[in-house]
Amino acid sequence: MAGTVRNYYGLLNVGRDATAEEIKRAYRKLARELHPDVNPDPAAQNRFKEVTTAYEVLSDPEKRRIVDLGGDPLASAGGAGGNPFGGNFGGFGDIFETVFGGAGAGGRGPRSRVRQGADALLRIELSMAEMAFGVQKDIAVETAVTCQTCQGDGCAPGTRPRTCDTCGGRGEVQSMQRSLLGPVMTSRSCPTCGGTGQQIPSPCPNCSGEGRVRARRTISVDVPGGIEDGMRIRMTGQGEVGPGGGPAGDLYIEVTEQPHDTFTREGSDLHCTVAVPMTAAALGTELTLTGLDAEERVEIRPGTQSGAVITLRGRGVPRLRSTTRGDLHVHVEVRTPTRLDETQEKLLRELATLRDEDVSVGGNRGGLFSKMRFGTR
């Protein structure tokens, strides 16, 4: 049986047409009254959870849209009427800090000094043939790597971290502040240890306590055949080592295709243009074209017109992760002579006469362009 959809607007005492700012003001007002640091009543704490859930939903445009359509965006997270954040204030603390600018209720404990490293991006240029058929490349990469002097713990040899004197290892310090609502306890990250709960009395002289240093190294990259311009190759664990010698992020190799003198590429297809004399196009001929991996024979059939496209099936670029190849499209450009000597002109006039090409644009229908004759030089 379906559960009752929660009235998120009613929990905050606002109408369905309330603006985002009105919703935020309503939450601030209720949170000041119900926050566990101000009101220890268990009923108030449950009410605080409800209004914080309502604010989390209505401050999110997509979740609010679901509510306005009659649904409950948190039904799958916590069940109708349930608490989608679980039994503690972890999620509510984040929302409370966003609205009020301070720490929420409950301590979070120290954070680890060892953290995940960031991803890195490197761009390389490859020739069209290398991208078409694949290649193995040795490339130089400069990233953060684990410090070999301290093995990532940040301490000078023979020393160890110690518990922070300021926070006693909790990673945060608390202070009592007076407000119109009475005393309010706030928590913030410990300024001495940065929230880790530990201090390094003798930092490593090589990495200054970071547990990592920048270094240049060479790695081998296998570029698969058929890769296209702008694609990225992911190399797991080859990125930046994290603080405290934490696990490295990933390295992304972005490939750029160098322009080719003859071919242009569209996916797995290749295109090129060949220029043939007018006589060769009329009589037919055969060309030899140097492709990316072999010589290709191109037949120009008699009567080929300028703009014609001759397609050589399966002579393009191998498709990525496939055994098939694209096509090679040869675009024919017929070159008409621009300057003729007397003998050449005479021969062409004789040919035009034999082909009856000095008559006719439009047949016998007459008109301004019904006759076309070749002029003299």
Examine residue 273 and state whether it is found in any structural domain, yes or no.
Answer: yes
**Residues 125 and 213 reside in one and the same domain:** yes
Yes or no: say if 116 and 38 are a contact pair by the CB < 8 Å rule: no
Task: Say whether both 28 and 125 belong to one domain.
Answer: no
**Per-residue pLDDT at 49:** 86
Bridge partners of residue 332, in order along the sequence: 274
CA 106 vs CA 136, 234, 318, 340: distances in Å: 54, 40, 59, 94
Domain co-membership, 330 together with 270: yes
Question: Looking at per-residue confidence, does 33 or 197 come out higher?
Answer: 197
Same domain, yes or no: 151 and 248: yes
How many angstroms separate the CA atoms of 111 and 195, rounded?
A: 6
Q: Do 267 and 140 contact (CB within 8 A), yes or no?
A: no
What is the share, in percent, of the chain residues with pLDDT greater than 90?
A: 48
| Straight-line distance from the first to the last Cα atom of the chain, in angstroms, rounded to the nearest whole number | 97
- 193 and 283 part of one domain: no
Give the pLDDT score at 51: 87
pLDDT at 154 over 60: yes
Radius of gyration of the chain (CA): 38
Residue 88 in this model has a pLDDT that exceeds 50? no
Tens digits of residue pLDDT in 290-321: 999 999 999 999 999 999 999 999 999 999 98
**CA-to-CA distance for 328 and 291, rounded, in angstroms?**
9
pLDDT tens-digit series, residues 89-107: 444 445 555 555 444 444 4
Task: Flag whether 287 is in a domain.
Answer: yes
- As a whole number, mean pLDDT of residues 8-12 equals 90
> What is this structure's pTM?
0.60
H or E stretch covering 44: helix 42-58
Does residue 108 sit within a domain? no
Same domain for 238 and 128: yes
Is residue 199 a contact partner of residue 138, using CB atoms and an 8 Å limit? Answer: no
Per-residue confidence (pLDDT) for residue 262, from 0 to 100: 94
Q: Sorting pLDDT into bands at 50, 70 and 90, what band is 212?
A: very high
Domain assignment present for residue 190? The answer is yes
Same domain, residue pair 149 and 216? yes
Least confident of 32-36, 73-77, 228-232, 352-356: 73-77
| Cα 23 → chain centroid | 34
- pLDDT over 70 (residue 182): no
Q: What is the 3-state secondary structure (H, E, C) of 134-178?
A: CEEEEEEEEEEEECCCCCCCCECCCCCCEECCCCCCCCEEEEEEE
Q: Is residue 40 part of a domain?
A: yes
What CATH number corresponds to the domain at position 132? Answer: 2.60.260.20
Q: Of 218, 234, 257, which residue sits at a domain end? A: 257
Which of 1-15, 91-105, 118-132, 312-326 has the lowest average pLDDT?
Answer: 91-105
- DSSP for 264-304, please give it: EEETTEEEEEEEEEHHHHHH-EEEEEE-SSSEEEEEE-TTP
Same domain for 151 and 237, yes or no, is: yes
Query: In the structure, what pLDDT confidence band is assigned to residue 30 with cuts at 50, 70 and 90?
Result: confident
Q: What is the pLDDT of residues 337-368, one digit of tens each?
A: 888 899 988 988 888 888 887 544 444 444 44
- Predicted pLDDT of residue 315: 95
What is the domain-level CATH number for residue 37?
Answer: 1.10.287.110
Identify whether residues 63 and 131 lie together within a single domain. Answer: no
One domain for residues 219 and 149: yes
Domain shared by 311 and 288, yes or no: yes
Whole-number pLDDT of residue 176:
74
pLDDT tens, residue by residue, 48-68: 888 888 898 898 888 888 888
pLDDT of residue 259: 95
Question: Tell me, what's the pLDDT at 180?
Answer: 57
Q: Which domain holds residue 13?
A: 8-100
Between 361 and 266, whose confidence is greater? Answer: 266
Question: How many structural domains are present in the chain?
Answer: 5
Helix, strand or coil, per DSSP, at residue 325: strand
pLDDT of residue 369: 44
Do residues 139 and 221 lie in contact, with contact meaning Cβ atoms separated by under 8 Å?
A: yes
pLDDT of res. 1: 38
Report pLDDT for 89. 41
Inside any domain, residue 2 = no
Domain assignment present for residue 365? The answer is yes
Q: How confident is the model at residue 377 (pLDDT cuts 50, 70, 90)?
A: very low
The predicted pLDDT at position 33 comes to 81
Q: Which residues contact 354 (CB under 8 A, 6 or more apart)?
A: none
- The per-residue pLDDT of the chain, averaged, comes to 83
CA nearest to 32, candidates 42, 22, 17, 47: 47
In a domain, 324, yes or no: yes
Is 45 strand, coil or helix?
A: helix
Provide the sign of the torsion angle of the four alpha carbons 306, 312, 315, 318, taken in this order: positive
CA distances from 40 to 37, 103, 173, 193, 343 (A): 7, 17, 21, 31, 111
Higher pLDDT, 148 or 74: 148
202-211 pLDDT, tens digit each: 999 999 999 9
| 317 and 193 together in one domain | no
